[in-house]
Every structure is written in C-alpha cells, then in structure tokens.
Amino acid sequence: MSNGMRVDLSALDEVIRKLWRLLDDMDKAGTTSKYSTEIPMDAFGQSCYFTEARDLHGAQGEMKAKIEQMIKKLHELIDDFSTKTSKVRDKYNDEEHEIKRSVGDNSGGPKKGQLA
C-alpha cells in the first residue's frame, strides 16, 4: 500500500553511482597504502647504527598496517551501504512498476491482447 509518498529513483541512482566512485577511490587508496608506503630499513641510514632506527622502522610498519585495516573497514562499510542502497532502489522500482501494472489492470479498458 502506498502512503502517497514518492521516491526519487534518480536520486538513489546518483547515490549509488557516487558510492561506486568512492569504492573505486578506496581501492586505489588501499593499493597505495599496501604497496607504496613501505619505508625500507636502509632509509634510516646505511648501517642503522643509531638506536632509534629499528624502533622507527617498526613504528612505521605498525602504522602502515593500521592504515591498511582502516581502509579495508571503510571499504567494507561503503560496499555494504552501496549494496543496501541498490536493494532499496530495486524494491522501490519494483513497487512502482507493480502499482502501475495494477492500476492499468483495473482501468476498465481492454486488457493486453484483447480487442475493445
């Protein structure tokens, strides 16, 4: 039953497109964080004799892993929201078609395939 409210399916389509673009951006960020942010140990000096070099390198590795996990969680959240938004859009679209079909069937006019 309709309560008289209308849903702008084109607005839902736009939300879905934006979420897909955001997912694409998150994929790029995930790839960058995973493969382009590693600092090699020798970047802290050729012989790494100063005391903090290993700690600094270890801290960078930990932070890199945390960033990768944050991006993964964000990706999952956006993907979930995108999927749910698509399902909602499909249900509204199906309901709209069903209402149009039922109104057309009860119009008193000839049914499809019947002559007047």
**Does residue 65 lie in a domain region?**
yes
Return d(Cα 74, Cα 81) in angstroms, integer. 11
**Does residue 1 lie in a domain region?**
no
CA 104 to chain centre: 37
The answer to whether the pTM exceeds 0.95 is no
**Does residue 114 lie in a domain region?**
no
Report the number of distinct structural domains present in the chain.
1
Q: Cα–Cα distances in Å, from 24 out to 1, 73, 79, 87, 90?
A: 38, 14, 10, 20, 22
**Does residue 92 lie in a domain region?**
yes
- Per the structure, the complete domain to which residue 92 belongs is given by 9-103
Greatest extent of the chain over all pairs of C-alpha atoms, in Å = 95
**Does residue 115 lie in a domain region?**
no
Tens-binned pLDDT, residue by residue, of the chain (116 aa):
456 678 889 999 999 999 999 999 999 999 998 888 888 888 877 666 677 888 888 899 999 999 999 999 999 999 999 999 999 999 999 988 888 898 886 555 555 555 54
**Does residue 39 lie in a domain region?**
yes
